[in-house]
C-alpha cells in the first residue's frame, strides 16, 4: 500500500550528494518510527537508516558516516541526506513508517514498518 511519497532521487556522480524527502498522505509521523530502505537490482530490500520520535537514529554499516536521517514533525516530513555517494549506493530508495513506536533504538527490520512509499531511484555513476 502506497501511503508515503518520496522525492529527491536522481542521477549523480560518485562523490556527490543527494537529499531525499518523504511525506505521508494520511498519517502523521509524530508518534512513529520512520526509516529509509533501499533495494538494488537483483537484491533484497534492506534498511539503511531509521529515526524514532526522540531523534535517536540507527544506521546500517554501509551508510554510517555518509548518510544522515532527520525528521521535521512540525512539517510532517522525513529526510535522508546522502553524501560521498558511491556506485554501490545505486538503488530504489523507500521511506517507511511504523505504527506507534516507543523503541529507544529505532528498528531497521522491514517487518516493523507498515506504511510504505513507492520509492525514488538513485543512480550513482563512477
- Digit-coded pLDDT (tens) for 102-114: 999 999 999 999 9
Cα-Cα-Cα-Cα dihedral sign, residues 51, 36, 49, 45: positive
Render pLDDT for 4-51 as a digit per residue (tens, 0 to 9).
Answer: 999 999 999 999 999 999 999 989 999 999 999 999 999 999 999 999
User: Where are the extended beta strands (E) located within the chain?
Assistant: 2-7, 10-13, 18-24, 32-39, 46-51, 57-59, 67-72, 77-82, 91-100, 113-117, 120-125
* Contact criterion met (CB below 8 Å) for 51 and 105: no
Beta bridge partners of 57: 51
Amino acid at each position: 500500500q502506497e501511503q508515503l511519497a518520496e522525492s529527491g532521487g536522481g542521477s549523480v556522480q560518485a562523490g556527490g550528494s543527494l537529499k531525499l524527502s518523504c511525506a505521508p498522505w494520511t498519517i502523521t509521523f509524530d508518534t512513529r518510527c520512520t526509516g529509509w530502505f533501499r533495494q538494488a537490482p537483483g537484491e533484497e530490500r534492506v534498511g539503511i537508516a531509521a529515526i524514532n520520535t526522540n531523534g535517536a537514529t540507527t544506521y546500517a554499516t554501509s551508510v554510517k558516516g555518509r548518510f544522515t536521517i532527520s525528521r521535521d514533525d512540525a512539517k510532517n516530513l522525513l529526510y535522508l541526506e546522502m553524501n560521498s555517494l558511491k556506485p554501490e549506493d545505486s538503488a530504489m530508495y523507500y521511506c517507511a513508517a511504523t505504527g506507534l513506536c516507543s523503541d529507544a533504538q529505532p528498528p531497521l527490520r522491514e517487518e516493523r514498518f507498515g506504511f510504505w512509499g513507492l520509492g525514488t531511484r538513485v543512480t550513482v555513476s563512477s
